[in-house]
Structure 1
Amino acid sequence: MDSDDSLVDDELQPQALAVRIDDNDDFDLNIPPTTGNEYLRRVREEAKDCPQIVVADIDTSPFLQKQTVKIKEHGGRFPAPKGFTPDLQWQKLQTANFAELRQNLQRQKILMAKKGLLKRDKLPQCNDVENWCRLCFGRLMPPGVSQREVKSEVVMEEEAKPKHEGVLPLLSIVAALDQPSVIRVLEYHINWFEATGFSDKQGMWFYALLTSLQKPLSPEACALIRSLARSCGNLRATLESPEDPRLVPLNLFICLVSRYFDQTDLADPGT
Structure 2
Amino acid sequence: MLLAIDAGNTNIVFALCGEGEIRARWRIATEARRTADEYAVWLKQLLELEEIAFADVDAVIIGTVVPRALHNLSTLARRYFKVEPLVAGQGEAAWPMRLDVPEPETLGADRGLNVLAAHAGHEGDIVVVDFGTATTFDICDYTGAYKGGVIAPGINLSLDALTGKTAQLPKIAIEKPENDSVIGKTTQDQMLVGVYWGYVAMIEGLIERARKEIGRPVTVIGTGGLATLFPEGLFDAVEPDLTIRGLMLLHKEATKR
Shorter-chain TM-score range: under 0.3
Greater relative contact order (Cα < 8 A, sep 6+): 1
TM-score (norm 2): 0.24
Greater strand percent: which structure?
Answer: 2
Greater helix percent: which structure?
Answer: 1
